[in-house]
C-alpha cells in the first residue's frame, strides 16, 4: 500500500475538517439528551441549568484539548469556538466556566496563556449574549460567513446585526490568538502556524464554521420542539375557547336572548343567530395559526354582540380604539377572545352597574400594541402565575390567560403585561411585530416564539 505524506499546510487543512466534524458530532450527541433539549427550548435559563450546561460542555471540550497532548493531534482543540459558543448560549457565567476548563487543560501542559485566553473567549461570548436582539439573532447565525454578511447588509432590526458581530468577534479572537502565539511561541499559546497566508485565512474561516455548525444543528431541533409546543398550545387554545363559548350556561343565555328577541325584534333575533353561527364555525373549524387583526376583531364583535344582548347595552359598554393602519397586521388566531371574555365575565358581570371594556390597537414604530382594559372589580395580579399553562392561574380566572401568555412567548418572545388591582379595573397589554403574514410566519418559526 502506497504511503501518503502531507505537507504542513495540507495537514492543517485536514485538521480543520476534523475540527468541524468533531464539533458537529459532539453537538449531535448532546442534543439527544433531555437536558439539552429543555435548555435550548427555554428562553430564561436558571443558574443551575447554566452550570450544568457549562460543566458538561466544558468537560467535553477540555477532554478534546487533552487529546491534543496525548495523541499529538492539533485538530482536536476547540477552545476558541467552544468557549465563545458557551458564552453566547449560557451567558458570562457559562462562558467563563467553559473558558476556564479549556484554558486549564492547556495550562496543565505549560501553555500559561491558554487560561487567560480561554476566559477571554467565554466572557466575550457572554458579553455578546447581553446585546439587544442577541437571543433571536444568535439562532440566525449561519456556518456560511457570506450569509451572515448579507444579513448585516439587509439588516432591519438589531437581531439581524448579531450574526455579523459574532463573526467579527470570532475572527478577531482568532487573529489575536495567532499573533500572540507567533510572538510568544506555540508552547505558550497554541495556534495553527501555516506556511501560506490563504491557509491562515482558512483557519479563521474554519472557526466561524465550527461555531456555526452546532448552532444550526441545535436550532433545527429547537424549532421542531417549539413547533410541536406551538401546535399543542394552539389546539389547547381552541379547546379552551370551545369550552368557554359552547357550554350549557353560555348557550342557554344566548338562546334565551334570541328567544326573547324573536317576538319584539325579529331582525335582532336573526342577527344574533348569525353571530352565534359565526362563533361556532370559527371555534370548530378555524385552524389557521395567524390571521389579520381585522378578522380577530370581527370575531370579537360577534362574541360581544351576544354578550351585549345578554347583559344589555346599559350594563356592558364597548369602546374600540383601533388604528386603521394595523388592521391587516397578523396576530395569533383566537388570541383576543380569552382576554375580552376575562373582562366581561370577571370584571363586568359581577357588578350590578356593569362597566366598560376598551379594545385598543395602535402602531408604535415597528410594533403593534394591543390592549384590553376594563373598569371592573380587578384582582391581585401578583398572584397570577402566567408560566403555568395548566396551573391554578387558568383555573382561577377561567379564561386561559396563561395559555395566551405562553402562545405569545412562543411566537414573539414576549407575553402579556397585566396591570390590575382590586377595585381599580384591569389592563392587559401585549405587542406583535408590524410585519406581513409571510414575514411573521418565518420569524415565529425562528423564535418558536
pLDDT of 13-53, one tens digit each? 888 888 899 899 999 999 999 899 888 877 777 889 999 99
Return the beta strands (E) in 21-170 as ranges: none
Provide the 8-state DSSP code for 372: E
Average model confidence (pLDDT) across the chain = 82
pLDDT of residue 389: 46
CB 190 within 8 A of CB 106: yes
**Cβ proximity of 145 and 119 under 8 Å:** no
Task: Decide if 277 is inside a domain.
Answer: no
- Who's near 218: CB < 8 A, 6+ residues apart? 27, 31, 36, 40
Mean pLDDT lowest among 88-92, 112-116, 132-136: 132-136
| Confidence (pTM) | 0.58
**pLDDT for 441 beyond 50:** no
Are 210 and 294 in a shared domain? no
CA angle 54, 122, 145 (to 5 degrees): 110
Predicted local distance difference test score (pLDDT) of residue 370 = 96
Query: Where a domain ends, among 175, 195, 222?
Result: 222
**In this structure, are 297 and 177 located in the same domain?**
no
Do 434 and 315 share a structural domain? Answer: yes
In a domain, 234, yes or no: no
Output the DSSP codes for 261-310: HHHH-HHHHHHHHHHHHHHHHHHHH---SEEEHHHHHHHHHHHHHHHHHH
Out of 61-75, 400-414, 430-444, pick the least confident.
430-444
What does the pLDDT read at residue 290? Answer: 81
The pLDDT value recorded for residue 19 is: 87
Alpha-carbon span 112 to 188, nearest angstrom = 6
Q: What is the total count of domains within the chain? A: 2
Give the CATH number for residue 385.
3.30.565.10
Q: How confident is the model at residue 62 (pLDDT cuts 50, 70, 90)?
A: very high
Give me the residue label for grid cell 386603521.
Answer: 324
* Domain of residue 307, residue span: 286-447
Highest mean pLDDT among 221-225, 288-292, 367-371: 367-371
Confidence of residue 165 (pLDDT cuts 50, 70, 90): very high
Which positions ≥6 away from 261 have C-beta within 8 Å? 268, 269, 272, 309
pLDDT digits (tens, 9 = 90+) for 370-424: 999 999 888 877 777 676 544 444 444 444 688 788 788 877 878 899 998 887 8
Q: Is 115 helix (H, G, I), strand (E, B) or coil?
A: helix
Amino acid at each position: 500500500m502506497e504511503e501518503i505524506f502531507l505537507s504542513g499546510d495540507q495537514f492543517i487543512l485536514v485538521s480543520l475538517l476534523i475540527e468541524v466534524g468533531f464539533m458537529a458530532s459532539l453537538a449531535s450527541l448532546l442534543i439527544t439528551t433531555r437536558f439539552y433539549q429543555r435548555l435550548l427550548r427555554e428562553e430564561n435559563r436558571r443558574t443551575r441549568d447554566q452550570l450544568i450546561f457549562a460543566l458538561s460542555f466544558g468537560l467535553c471540550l477540555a477532554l478534546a484539548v487533552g487529546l491534543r497532548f496525548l495523541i499529538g493531534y492539533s485538530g482536536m482543540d476547540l477552545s476558541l469556538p467552544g468557549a465563545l459558543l458557551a458564552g453566547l448560549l449560557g451567558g458570562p457565567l457559562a462562558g467563563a466556566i467553559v473558558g476556564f476548563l479549556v484554558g486549564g487543560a492547556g495550562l496543565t501542559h505549560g501553555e500559561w496563556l491558554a487560561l487567560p485566553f480561554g476566559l477571554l473567549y467565554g466572557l466575550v461570548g457572554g458579553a455578546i449574549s447581553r446585546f439587544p436582539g442577541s437571543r433571536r439573532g444568535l439562532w440566525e447565525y449561519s456556518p456560511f460567513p457570506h450569509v451572515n454578511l448579507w444579513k448585516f447588509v439587509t439588516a432591519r432590526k438589531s437581531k439581524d446585526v448579531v450574526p455579523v458581530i459574532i463573526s467579527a468577534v470570532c475572527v478577531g479572537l482568532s487573529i489575536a490568538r495567532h499573533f500572540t502565539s507567533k510572538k510568544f511561541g506555540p508552547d505558550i499559546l497554541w495556534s495553527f502556524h501555516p506556511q501560506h497566508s490563504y491557509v491562515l485565512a482558512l483557519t479563521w474561516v474554519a472557526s466561524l464554521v465550527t461555531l456555526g455548525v452546532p448552532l444550526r444543528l441545535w436550532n433545527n431541533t429547537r424549532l421542531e420542539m417549539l413547533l410541536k409546543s406551538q401546535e399543542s398550545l394552539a389546539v389547547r387554545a381552541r379547546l379552551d375557547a370551545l369550552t368557554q363559548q359552547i357550554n350549557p350556561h353560555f348557550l342557554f343565555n344566548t338562546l334565551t336572548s334570541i328567544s326573547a328577541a324573536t317576538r319584539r325584534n325579529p331582525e335582532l333575533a336573526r342577527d344574533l343567530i348569525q353571530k352565534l353561527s359565526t362563533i361556532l364555525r370559527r371555534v370548530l373549524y378555524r385552524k389557521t395559526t395567524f390571521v389579520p387583526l381585522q378578522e380577530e376583531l370581527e370575531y370579537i364583535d360577534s362574541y360581544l354582540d351576544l354578550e351585549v344582548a345578554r347583559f344589555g347595552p346599559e350594563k356592558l359598554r364597548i369602546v374600540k380604539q383601533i388604528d386603521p393602519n394595523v388592521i391587516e397586521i397578523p396576530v395569533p388566531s383566537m388570541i383576543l377572545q380569552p382576554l375580552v371574555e376575562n373582562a366581561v365575565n370577571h370584571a363586568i358581570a359581577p357588578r350590578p352597574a356593569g362597566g366598560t371594556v376598551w379594545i385598543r390597537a395602535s402602531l408604535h414604530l415597528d410594533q403593534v400594541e394591543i390592549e384590553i382594559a376594563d373598569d371592573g372589580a380587578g384582582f391581585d395580579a401578583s398572584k397570577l402565575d402566567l408560566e403555568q399553562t395548566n396551573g391554578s392561574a387558568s383555573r382561577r380566572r377561567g379564561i386561559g390567560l396563561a395559555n395566551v401568555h405562553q402562545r405569545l412567548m412562543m411566537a414573539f418572545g414576549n407575553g402579556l403585561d397585566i396591570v390590575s388591582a382590586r377595585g381599580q379595573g384591569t389592563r392587559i397589554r401585549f405587542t406583535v411585530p408590524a410585519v406581513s403574514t409571510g414575514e411573521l410566519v418565518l420569524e415565529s418559526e425562528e423564535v418558536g416564539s
